[in-house]
Amino acid sequence: MKSPFGFILMAIESHKPYICVVFIQSMSAGLALFTRAAIAEGNNTYVFTFYRQAFAMLALAPLAFFFERKQAAPLSWILLCKIFFVALLGITMTFNLYCLGISYTSATFASAATNTIPAITLILAVLLRVEKISITKWHGVAKVLGCVVGLGGAMVFIFIKGPPLYQGSPNKSSRLSADGNPKTEWVKGSFIMLASMTAWSLWHILQGHLVKQYPAKLRLLALQCFFSCIQTAIWAVAVERRISSWKLQWDLNLLSILYCGLIVTGMGYWLRIWVIQKKGPVFVAIFTPLTLLITAAFSAIIWKETLHWGSLCGAVLVVGGLYIILWGKHTEGQSKSIEELKSIESTKHETTHKVNDNVKV
């Protein structure tokens, strides 16, 4: 008879992907909080992105060498070019376009835009034939409906406030969500942010193909961070040439860079690749709305921001959409398992029938 501790370990083992993906979104919420704090201090976002990738590379390189030194993972020039392209698309372009989009819109809009990732990833995965949707079956309808409900909930969370749940206090972070830009600039920023989310969604999908060709996940991530470090350095130098913007001091900016580089990029990206390998890119993407909820909760606690009834209703819709998609994924997995069992039984029956016929002959 197993002890309660043994059952707990079994439960954790069977739910590892779910635990990891919630942990990933919690780290992403920390990214939003630290990035907002860095912006509030007047730091250059492009230089911030470069330092983040540099620290991530320095952290991952020795880990990749130590843990995967015995894994034979040969690199061809074609594969190296693929890794370079994926790093450019999914890391360099994603974060720099994200920062540029914030400059034209607002931090609040940027937080809402990340909730388009599940829908974009699902659409791209279907177009690239990585994911299948059967509209004639309930699990296919659930996937589409879950994306719509989750995205709608995110929009309600941001744009429909309603009466306050309680009264917070004004602070310097409030200016990050102020909408003071002209309409043309706002539209431009919206398209830039959409491009950032599309690049991020493609990164999720392309990781599945890369891991199959290069199974050493730490090395793969370290290489992407190395290429992204070079790319972001070129981007930052082209945009920001003031020496003062590149100086690091013992302040909140350095703490933010360390957290975003070591924890979010270093640990978070490795966990993302692991979950993508286990469950696929759409599974990771559908948990993205949790970041908005966690960020809102910590913003209310740390920055004393006011939460509204509209935000609460939006949060309920976001979680509802998430569970609808999860139900669809679960039902689809059960259907595939049943079909596989039927196929195996059918093959066994045909084999037995042939053997009997041969014996009779």
Domain count, the chain: 1
Say what the pLDDT of residue 115 is. Answer: 73
Say what the pLDDT of residue 303 is. Answer: 62
Beta bridge partners of 308: 164
Name which of 146, 155, 152 is nearest 286 in CA terms: 146
- How far is it, in rounded angstroms, from Cα 14 to Cα 3? 17
- C-alpha angle with apex 27: 104 to 39, nearest 5 degrees? 30
- Find tokens 């001091």 and name the residue: 249
Amino acid present at 224: Q
What are 273's two structure tokens? 């690749």
Say what the pLDDT of residue 39 is. Answer: 67
Residue 325 per-residue DSSP state: H
- Find tokens 């992907």 and name the residue: 17
| Domain extent at residue 260 | 4-360
Say what the pLDDT of residue 78 is. Answer: 92
Taking only the tens place, the pLDDT of each residue in 255-307 is 888 888 888 877 887 788 788 878 877 777 777 777 777 777 777 777 666 66
Q: How would you class 348 by CB atoms within 10 Å of its CB: exposed for 0-12, middle for 13-18, buried for 19 or more?
A: exposed
Say what the pLDDT of residue 72 is. Answer: 61
Query: Quick check: 48 and 233 in contact, CB under 8 A?
Result: no
- How far is it, in rounded angstroms, from Cα 284 to Cα 22? 9
Say what the pLDDT of residue 7 is. Answer: 43
Query: Quick check: 69 and 287 in contact, CB under 8 A?
Result: no
Helix, strand, or coil (residue 164): strand
- In whole angstroms, how large is the CA radius of gyration of the chain? 23
Say what the pLDDT of residue 261 is. Answer: 82
What are 46's two structure tokens? 């492009």
Taking only the tens place, the pLDDT of each residue in 42-53 is 778 788 889 888
Say what the pLDDT of residue 122 is. Answer: 79
Which residues in the chain come in under a pLDDT of 70?
A: 1-14, 39-40, 71-73, 106-110, 112, 157-158, 161, 165-183, 186, 303-307, 336-361
Say what the pLDDT of residue 193 is. Answer: 82
Q: How would you class 129 by CB atoms within 10 Å of its CB: exposed for 0-12, middle for 13-18, buried for 19 or more?
A: exposed
Say what the pLDDT of residue 173 is. Answer: 43
Amino acid present at 126: V
SS (H, E, C) the chain: CCCHHHHHHHHHHHCHHHHHHHHHHHHHHHHHHHHHHHHHCCCCHHHHHHHHHHHHHHHHHHHHHHHCCCCCCCCCHHHHHHHHHHHHHHHHHHHHHHHHHHHHCCHHHHHHHHHHHHHHHHHHHHHCCCCCCCCCCHHHHHHHHHHHHHHHHHHHHHHCCCCECCCCCCCHHHHHHCCCCCHHHHHHHHHHHHHHHHHHHHHHHHHHHHHHHCCCHHHHHHHHHHHHHHHHHHHHHHHCCCHHHHCCCCCHHHHHHHHHHHHHHHHHHHHHHHHHHHHCHHHHHCCCHHHHHHHHHHHHHHCCCCCEHHHHHHHHHHHHHHHHHHHHHHHHHHHHHHHHHHHHHHHHHHHHHHHHHHHHC
* Predicted TM-score of the model (pTM): 0.71
- How far is it, in rounded angstroms, from Cα 271 to Cα 60? 13
Name which of 259, 325, 331 is nearest 125 in CA terms: 325
